């Protein structure tokens, strides 16, 4: 398990709103990821959740009052942020957004935000009624915050505590955690669009049976998350998996290799990077039955006929423009002789980078070892959890894109 926030100090600010109940889970999640959490609450926040609860979850003193005598120099608004790595205000009410946008400092949390060092990121998770969120005054304040350098996380749309439906819901704790972790990742793909495939495909034999493989989709989903963390706009074409979609990633669900091919070719226009991670079936059944096949009394096996599926990676590579987009990255799962087969496959596909692994050593696992094949040979990325490897791979792709851009 990665501890993405190990050694980080996060100041978690709570303003008034029913979404304060989510802040408790968020605080616990932050500490599980290795962060030290310092909670600062407005008076309004204490009407929704107690300081005692947040102190128990964070393991640290909770601050609510600018004049708290426990701070020896009475400068809590200064001291609480000087060794912090980020301030995250979650929930951030419409009123507190107004304070941040206009430099109001009439309580500890607002004064602390105004007095923070300029290097310190201010991260804001809005939470309010849909009408409050859509009010022009709130939108003006949000735009001002963004112009001032604050990062806005959300809000999400959905059913609200008041019974109305629309934008204004605070993101869920797991989504806020992903956003926070992403904020610390280098934006090496900022402004780029990335299309990738993940998971297995399923080739139907009849309505209840089919041919598939052991791919879990974990590596592809980790790469989708890593690409989004790196600042890219990410589209994920996924075969059948039970994995949750990484936050901020657009997902297109497919089942068969033919459906994956159609989805990829429809989306590939305008993409800067294509990463073919999915374990795509090489063959499909051409005479699949409309009804469930029954066992024959004589024990005869069904007469299945096959034809080759289209090569998604080669087809995308063939669309590469004179400017070199999309930069194509392929994956190859072998059972033996990875170095030999990987180099040959990269040449055959006509792509600049191929990632190889031993399939039965990675399918369904949480860690992996991968080998990168390019014009200069091969590079081994040692065994690690898949998200760590995904971030390393995205960094390697970004370096190659940058190098190529300098040469063209």
The pLDDT of residue 336: 63
Q: Where are the domains of the chain?
A: 9-183, 193-407
Query: Which parts of 103-251 fold into alpha helices (H)?
Result: 108-114, 130-134, 136-147, 173-183, 218-229
pLDDT single digits (tens) 259-295: 999 999 999 999 999 999 999 999 999 888 888 888 8
What distance in Å separates the CA atoms of residue 247 and residue 225, rounded to the nearest whole number?
7
Q: Within the chain, which residues score under 50 in pLDDT? A: none
The pLDDT of residue 337: 67
What distance in Å separates the CA atoms of residue 3 and residue 187, rounded to the nearest whole number?
20
Identify the burial level of 7 via C-beta atoms within 10 angstroms of its C-beta, where 0-12 means exposed, 13-18 middle and 19 or more buried.
exposed
The pLDDT of residue 2: 67
Architecture label for domain 193-407 = 3-Layer(aba) Sandwich (3.40)
Query: Which parts of 230-281 fold into alpha helices (H)?
Result: 257-267
CATH number (3.40.50.1950, 3.40.190.10, 3.50.80.10, 3.30.465.10) of 9-183 reads 3.40.50.1950
261, two tokens: 């091919």
The pLDDT of residue 402: 85
* Secondary structure tally for the chain: helices H, strands E: 14, 19
What distance in Å separates the CA atoms of residue 241 and residue 264, rounded to the nearest whole number?
18
What distance in Å separates the CA atoms of residue 366 and residue 360, rounded to the nearest whole number?
13
Give Rg (Cα) of the chain.
25
Q: Which is catalytic among the residues 20, 27, 92, 162? A: 162
Identify the burial level of 266 via C-beta atoms within 10 angstroms of its C-beta, where 0-12 means exposed, 13-18 middle and 19 or more buried.
exposed
- Does this chain's domain 9-183 share its CATH topology with 193-407? yes
The pLDDT of residue 68: 85
The pLDDT of residue 407: 52
CB 168 within 8 A of CB 159: no
Query: 3-state DSSP helix/strand/coil percent for the chain, to nearest 5?
Result: 35, 25, 40
The pLDDT of residue 363: 63
78, two tokens: 């200064």
| pTM assigned to the model | 0.88
Strand runs (DSSP E) across 145-268, as ranges?
151-152, 156-159, 165-169, 193-198, 203-206, 209-211, 233-238, 250-253
Active site residue 105: no
Q: Which helix (H) or strand (E) holds 94?
A: helix 94-102
The pLDDT of residue 360: 55
């Amino acid at each position: 398990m990665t501890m993405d926030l190990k050694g980080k100090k996060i100041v978690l600010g709570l303003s008034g709103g029913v979404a304060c109940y989510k802040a408790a889970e968020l605080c616990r999640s932050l500490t599980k990821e290795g962060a030290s959490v310092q909670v600062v609450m407005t008076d309004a926040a204490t009407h929704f959740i107690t300081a005692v609860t947040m102190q128990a979850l964070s393991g640290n003193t909770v601050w609510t009052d600018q004049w708290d005598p426990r701070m020896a120099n009475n400068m809590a608004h200064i001291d609480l942020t000087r060794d912090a790595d980020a301030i995250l205000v979650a929930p951030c009410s419409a009123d507190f957004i107004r304070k941040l946008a206009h430099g109001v400092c009439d309580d500890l949390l607002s004064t602390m935000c105004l007095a923070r060092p300029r290097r310190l990121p201010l991260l804001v998770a809005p939470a309010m009624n849909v009408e409050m969120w859509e009010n022009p005054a709130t939108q003006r304040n949000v735009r001002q915050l963004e112009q001032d350098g604050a990062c806005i996380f959300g809000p999400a749309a959905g059913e609200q505590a008041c019974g109305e439906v629309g934008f204004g819901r605070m993101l869920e704790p797991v989504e806020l955690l992903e956003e926070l972790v992403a904020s610390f990742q280098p934006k090496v793909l900022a402004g780029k669009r990335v299309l990738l495939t993940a998971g297995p495909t399923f080739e139907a034999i009849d309505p209840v049976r089919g041919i598939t493989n052991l791919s879990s989709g974990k590596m592809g989903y980790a790469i989708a998350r890593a690409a989004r963390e790196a600042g890219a706009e990410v589209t994920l074409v996924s075969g059948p998996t039970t994995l949750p979609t990484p936050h901020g990633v657009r997902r297109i669900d497919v089942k068969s290799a033919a459906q994956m091919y159609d989805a990829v070719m429809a989306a590939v226009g305008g993409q800067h990077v294509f990463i073919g991670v999915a374990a795509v079936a090489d063959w499909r059944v051409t005479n699949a039955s409309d009804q469930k096949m029954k066992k024959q009394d004589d024990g005869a096996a069904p007469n299945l006929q096959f034809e080759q599926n289209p090569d998604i990676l080669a087809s995308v590579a063939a669309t590469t423009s004179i400017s070199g987009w999309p930069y194509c990255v392929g994956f190859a799962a072998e059972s033996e002789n990875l170095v030999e087969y990987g180099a040959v496959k990269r040449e055959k596909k006509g792509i600049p980078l191929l990632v190889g692994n031993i399939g039965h050593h990675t399918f369904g696992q949480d860690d992996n070892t991968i080998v990168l094949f390019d014009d200069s040979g091969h590079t081994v990325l040692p065994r690690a959890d898949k998200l760590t490897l995904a971030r390393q791979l995205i960094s390697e792709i970004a370096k190659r894109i940058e190098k190529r851009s300098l040469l063209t």
